[in-house]
Structure 1
Amino acid sequence: EFTASPDITEKEALEFAKAEENVQRHLEGKKIKKEMYIPGRLVSLVVA
């Protein structure tokens, strides 16, 4: 979970989420299959 400005772009939000230490731990050795962004509300990464 992270907090960011509601004005952040989709690209910035996804980069910010992927840079988070806790997220990186879950992404390690896995491939991102889907990225979902709902402006001002949600960033979701589906991995396999």
Structure 2
Amino acid sequence: MMERAVTREEGQDLAEYGLILALIAIVAIGALTLLGGRISSVLRSVALRL
């Protein structure tokens, strides 16, 4: 009985890590989408000065 409880907790931990990873990915994609134009502009400006 104790082994089943441990297995359930490990599965729950894995699910929580998956949710955290998904949240981080969504935030990163959103940030890159919002800042993508600015980053491109800065890189273009730097390239023109070289």
Range of TM-score over shorter length: 0.3 to 0.5
Task: State TM-score, norm by structure 1.
Answer: 0.32
Structure with a larger share of its residues in strand: 1
The structure number with the bigger radius of gyration is: 2
Does 1 or 2 have the higher relative contact order (CA < 8 Å, sep 6+)? 1
More helix as a share of residues: 2
Compute the TM-score of the two structures, normalised by the length of structure 2. Answer: 0.31
